[in-house]
């Protein structure tokens, strides 16, 4: 019985994973708050802050999750931890797709 339940949970996870293709438009909407520091076009407006424009999508996902999980610390990471804590996994996938799409 336990295996059946686990199987169902795994199957549901896999299905939602494929159904949840990153949404660039939703990412753009979410990125409105990011623009205050990372710029409207993904080029940082504050000296020393990183540009996100055209960055590798998977790198954006893992770095934002690392801030959210407080695995990235030191330097200015605290600033980003606060930002990342407000994003769901879906939001993270969407903003990553958005910034990666900028040329
Ligand atoms: C208040 C300013 C501020 C806001 C708002 C902000 N960030 Fe950041 N972000 C930073 C700073 C500062 C860093 C560098 C942190 C460090 O030293 O690790 C950073 C780093 C990052 C990085 C890592 C870049 C790299 O090259 O490793 C990503 C990705 C990122 N931010 C995404 C976002 C997203 C997406 C949003 C909006 C949801 C956002 N940020 C909002 C200030 C901000």
pLDDT tens digit string along 29-67? 999 999 999 999 999 999 999 999 999 999 999 999 999
Pocket of ligand 1 (CB under 6 A): 31, 33-34, 36-38, 49-50, 52, 60, 63-64, 72, 75-77, 79-80, 83, 87, 95
Give me ligand 1 centre to Cα 4, in Å. 41
Grade residue 2 by pLDDT with cuts at 50, 70 and 90. Answer: low
Q: What is the pLDDT of residue 18?
A: 45
Q: What confidence score (pLDDT) does residue 10 get?
A: 57
| Category of 18 on φ-ψ map: left (φ > 0), alpha (ψ -120 to 50) or beta | alpha
- By the 10 Å C-beta count (0-12 exposed, 13-18 middle, 19+ buried), 27 is classed as buried
pLDDT tens digits for range 6-36: 666 555 555 444 446 899 999 999 999 999 9
């Amino acid at each position: 019985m336990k295996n059946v339940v686990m199987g169902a949970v795994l199957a549901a996870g896999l299905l939602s994973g494929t159904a949840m293709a990153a949404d660039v438009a939703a990412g753009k909407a979410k990125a409105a708050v990011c623009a205050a520091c990372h710029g409207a076009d993904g080029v940082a407006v504050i000296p020393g802050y990183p540009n996100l424009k055209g960055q590798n999508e998977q790198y954006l996902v893992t770095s934002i999750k690392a801030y959210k999980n407080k695995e990235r610390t030191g330097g200015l990471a605290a600033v980003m931890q606060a930002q990342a804590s407000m994003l769901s996994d879906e939001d993270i996938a969407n903003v990553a797709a958005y910034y990666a799409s900028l040329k």
